[in-house]
Chains A and B, each alone.
Chain A
Amino acid sequence: MTARLGIGSVAHLHADAYAEIMHDLDDVEFVGVADRDDGRGRDFAAEHDTAFHTRGGLLDAADGVVVCSTNADRGEWIRAAADAGVNVLSEKPLGTSAAEARELTDVCASAGVALSVAMPLRHSVPARQARERLDGLGDLTALSGANRGHFPGGWFADPERSGGGAVMDHTVHLVDLVHWLTGTRVASVYAETATRFTDAAVEDVNVLSMELEDGTPFLLDGSWSKPDEWESWGDAFLEVTGTDGVLSLDCFAQRFRVTRDEEPSGVSAVFYGTDPNRAMLERFVETIGGRGPATPGQDASEVLAVVDAAYASAAAGEPVEVDH
C-alpha cells in the first residue's frame, strides 16, 4: 500500500530530515505540511518541494502525520489528528509530562487512530543487535550513557513552548532505549541540572544518576554541551555492564570526517550507517497499515515519568522515586 504522509507543524528541527525521507520512500506519498506560522510553513514547503496546507487541509489529505510541533503544541496537534481519524507519529517527548502523555494516549485509543512516538534509536541497527545480544551479559550491574547535543536555541529555550531544557529534550532517547533494551524501568532519579553554556531560561546541563527497578545504577549525561562547531549534531552511546561482560553501543559511530577550507568551512562528520529515521518512518507506514506501533504512547509516558522525576529531583536536591 502507499501511505499518504504529512508533517504537522515544522517547528521541530527534525522535520527537515523527515521531509527528505518521505520524498524518498517508495510507498509514501508526501502530501505536504501545515504550520501555525504561515511564513515558516510556506518556506519549508517550498524548500522541500511539497504543499502547504491548513491543519484541516493536511488532516483531510493524510493517512498519517508526523507531529513536529513545539512540545507545548503537541497535544493540540495530536487531538486534532485523532478527531480527524489520522494516525500519528509524534515527535518526542509526547507532551511535557507523563500525565499529558497518558491523556494523549487515551485520546488516540478512543479515536481508534494509531499513535507511535519518534524514538529512532529503537530502529538503529546496532541498537537492535544489542537487544538481541543483551542476554549474554548475565545479570545487569551498571549502565552508563550519554546523549549530548548542541544548544538548539529558538523555542527549545523558551520554557513556555518547550516545557523545559536539556532534561526535557535529551533524557528520553537513552531512557527509552534502556527501557526497551532491558525491559526494566527507571525507578529512581537524582538530577544535577544547571545553565552553564548559554544564558537561556532553561537548563542546558542534564546529568542524571538513576537506578532501575532491579537496583542497577544508570548514569546519563543528556546535556546540551556540544559546541555548534562540533563535527556532528551530537552523540548517543550506552554501555551496559553485566556479570558476564560489557556491551558498548554507539549508535552513530559509523561516520567519517570531512575538513574544508572553503565555506562552509570546518570539520563535519558524515554518518554512513543505516538511517534510523528512515527505518522509523517505514515502520510508521506499517503501523498505519495495521501493525502495532513501534513505540506506543504507554512507553512514552513511562519515559516522561522519569523526566517528571528528574525535574522534581533537581528542585528538591535529592533522589526522587519515579511515579509509574
Chain B
Amino acid sequence: MLRVGLVGSGFMARTHLERYRSMDDARVVAVASPNTAADFVAEHGLDADTFEDATTMMDADVDAVDVCSPTPTHRPLVEAAAARDLDVLCEKPIALTLEDANAIARAAADAGITLLVGHVLRFFPDYAAIRRSIADGAVGEVGTVRARRVSPFPDWAPWYADADRSGGVLHDLAIHEFDFCRWAVGDVERVFAREHRSDGNHRGLATLVFESGAVGYVDAGWDRPPGGDLTSEFEVAGDEGLLEYDGADGQPLAIDTRGDGEPLPPPVERDGYRRQLDAFVDAVEGREEPAVTAEDAIEALRISLAARRSAASGESVAVSEVVA
C-alpha cells in the first residue's frame, strides 16, 4: 500500500483523489495546502492528516508525493521530496523554466527516486489508441497533424490567468498536445505560434514542423464561453490514410431525465487519470519504468517555450535553440 501525500486542493487534486479512492495499492493519507487542506479533507470525507506546509507533510509518514499545485511550486516540492527519498508524481507542465525542469530531473536522478510527470493524455484510452494506430502504420508516413483542445477559461484558480505563474495557454494547455504529438509522431524541429490574450479569453495557435518533415498544428484555447465543456480533436493524415478523432463522439451512454440527473462516470473501467496513477504505482513498485520520464517532460516544455518565444518574437523558433 503506497501512502500518498497529496499537495494541492484544487481541481487536479480532486481529480486524482477520486481515482485513488478506488485503488487497492495506494491511498491518500495526507493532504498539504496552504489554507484549504482541512476543508478539502472534510469536503471529501477523507481520513487523512492535513498540513499547511508540504515539506512538513513530507517529514510525516508518507511514501510518495503527488504534486498538484501551481507550476512554479514544482521545483522546490520535487527537490524536497527527492531529499527525503520520496517518489513523486508531478503534474504537468514540469516547470515554467528549463532551468527549473533540469533541476527537477537532476534532483530525481541523484536521489534515485521515481518521478513521473503527469502528461495524462498518454494514459487516456483514446489517445493511447491513436498512438498505437499511428505506430502500427494506420496512416502510413505522416504528412499533417491537427491537434486541438479548447475549454472555458480555468477560472477555478487565479494562478492560471497570471502568465508569470501558468505561462498562459501555450504553456499550460498546449503542452498536452505538444507532448502527445512528440510521443505519437516524433520530435519537433521548429515552431511558429500566435496568441490572443484578453481578459478570460486566451488562445494559442502553433504550427509545428517535425524532424520527419511532417507539418502539424496545435490549436489550444481557454476561450469558450463559461460553463462549456472541454473539447478535444486529433487528426493525422499520412500517405496511406487518415485518422480522425473527435472527443465529442464516442459517448456510449446518455441519460436524459426530467430534473437534475447524476453525472455519469467515465465510460471505461479505468480512465486516463486512473491509468496514470496505476502507472505511477507500478513504477514505484518497480514493475514498470515510468511511462513519462523527466526527459519527456523537458522536451515537451522546450516545445512550449519555443511556441511562447515565437509568439513573442513573431519568428519561428527551432526547438534546438531552446537551451535555457
- A residues with CB within 8 A of B: 141-142, 144, 146, 148, 190, 192-194, 196-198, 204-205, 207, 209, 211, 216-217, 219, 221, 223, 225-227, 230, 241, 243, 245-246, 317-319
Q: How far is the CA of A204 from the CA of B221 in the complex (A)?
A: 27
Counting chain A CB atoms within 10 Å of each CB, which of B193, B194, B205 scores highest? Answer: B194
Contact between chains at A141 and B213 (CB < 8 Å) = no
In the assembled complex, which residues on chain B have CB atoms less than 8 Å from the CB atom of A317? 316
In the assembled complex, which residues on chain B have CB atoms less than 8 Å from the CB atom of A192? 192, 207, 209, 215
In the assembled complex, which residues on chain B have CB atoms less than 8 Å from the CB atom of A204? 143
CB contact under 8 A between A225 and B195, given known A141-B201, A205-B215, A207-B207: no
Contact between chains at B192 and A190 (CB < 8 Å) = yes
Contact between chains at B315 and A319 (CB < 8 Å) = yes
Q: How far is the CA of A246 from the CA of B209 in the complex (A)?
A: 28
CB contact under 8 A between A197 and B224, given known A216-B196, A243-B198: no
**What mask results when residues 269 to 302 of chain B are scored 1 for a CB within 8 Å of chain A, else 0?**
0000000000000000000000000000000000
- Asked if B266 is an interface residue, CB under 8 A from chain A, the answer is no
Contact between chains at B141 and A196 (CB < 8 Å) = yes
Query: Smallest CB-CB separation from A205: which chain B residue?
Result: B215
Q: How far is the CA of A100 from the CA of B51 in the complex (A)?
A: 72
Q: How far is the CA of A226 from the CA of B146 in the complex (A)?
A: 13
In the assembled complex, which residues on chain B have CB atoms less than 8 Å from the CB atom of A223? 143-144, 215, 237
Q: How far is the CA of A178 from the CA of B146 in the complex (A)?
A: 20
- Asked if B314 is an interface residue, CB under 8 A from chain A, the answer is yes
Min CB distance B177 to A, Å, is: 13
Partner of A241, one of B148, B192, B221: B221
Q: How far is the CA of A209 from the CA of B307 in the complex (A)?
A: 13
In the assembled complex, which residues on chain A have CB atoms less than 8 Å from the CB atom of B225? 245-246
Partner of B241, one of A190, A196, A207, A227: A227
Q: How far is the CA of A192 from the CA of B213 in the complex (A)?
A: 10
List, sorted by A's number, 24 A–B pairs whose CB atoms are closer than 8 Å: A141-B201, A142-B221, A190-B316, A192-B207, A192-B209, A194-B143, A194-B209, A194-B214, A196-B142, A196-B144, A196-B215, A197-B239, A205-B215, A216-B196, A221-B146, A221-B217, A223-B144, A223-B215, A223-B237, A226-B242, A243-B198, A246-B224, A318-B315, A319-B192
- Asked if B223 is an interface residue, CB under 8 A from chain A, the answer is yes
Q: How far is the CA of A198 from the CA of B203 in the complex (A)?
A: 33
- Asked if B187 is an interface residue, CB under 8 A from chain A, the answer is no
Query: Smallest CB-CB separation from A196: which chain B residue?
Result: B143
Min CB distance B233 to A, Å, is: 11
Min CB distance A275 to B, Å, is: 25
Contact between chains at A225 and B205 (CB < 8 Å) = no
CB contact under 8 A between A209 and B194, given known A196-B143, A204-B143, A223-B144: yes
Contact between chains at A211 and B194 (CB < 8 Å) = yes
**Beyond A221-B144, A227-B237, 19 additional pairs, beta carbon < 8 A:** A142-B196, A142-B205, A144-B205, A190-B316, A194-B209, A194-B215, A196-B144, A196-B213, A196-B239, A205-B143, A207-B207, A209-B194, A217-B205, A225-B237, A227-B242, A241-B221, A246-B223, A317-B316, A319-B314
Contact between chains at A207 and B215 (CB < 8 Å) = yes
Contact between chains at B194 and A217 (CB < 8 Å) = yes
In the assembled complex, which residues on chain A have CB atoms less than 8 Å from the CB atom of B201? 141, 241, 243
In the assembled complex, which residues on chain B have CB atoms less than 8 Å from the CB atom of A190? 192, 207, 316
CB contact under 8 A between A198 and B239, given known A190-B316, A245-B225: yes
Q: Which 3 A-B pairs have the closest CB atoms?
A: A196-B143, A217-B194, A225-B237
Contact between chains at B203 and A217 (CB < 8 Å) = yes
Q: How far is the CA of A148 from the CA of B219 in the complex (A)?
A: 17
In the assembled complex, which residues on chain B have CB atoms less than 8 Å from the CB atom of A142? 196, 203, 205, 221, 223
Q: How far is the CA of A196 from the CA of B224 in the complex (A)?
A: 33
Q: How far is the CA of A190 from the CA of B215 in the complex (A)?
A: 13
Q: Mark out the residues of chain B between 211 and 232 whose CB falls within 8 Å of any chain A CB in the assembled complex.
A: 213-217, 219, 221, 223-225
Q: How far is the CA of A3 from the CA of B174 in the complex (A)?
A: 54
CB contact under 8 A between A207 and B205, given known A190-B316, A245-B225: no
Partner of B143, one of A146, A197, A241, A319: A197
Contact between chains at B194 and A226 (CB < 8 Å) = no
Q: How far is the CA of A142 from the CA of B193 in the complex (A)?
A: 13
Partner of A217, one of B195, B240, B315: B195
Q: How far is the CA of A198 from the CA of B201 in the complex (A)?
A: 39
Min CB distance B222 to A, Å, is: 11
Partner of A318, one of B143, B195, B223, B316: B316
Q: How far is the CA of A144 from the CA of B225 in the complex (A)?
A: 17
Q: How far is the CA of A211 from the CA of B310 in the complex (A)?
A: 14
Contact between chains at B205 and A219 (CB < 8 Å) = yes
Min CB distance B312 to A, Å, is: 13
Contact between chains at B192 and A225 (CB < 8 Å) = no
Min CB distance B133 to A, Å, is: 15
**What mask results when residues 124 to 160 of chain B are scored 1 for a CB within 8 Å of chain A, else 0?**
0000000000000000011110101000000000000
Query: Smallest CB-CB separation from A140: which chain B residue?
Result: B196
Contact between chains at B196 and A217 (CB < 8 Å) = yes
Contact between chains at A146 and B207 (CB < 8 Å) = no
Min CB distance B253 to A, Å, is: 23
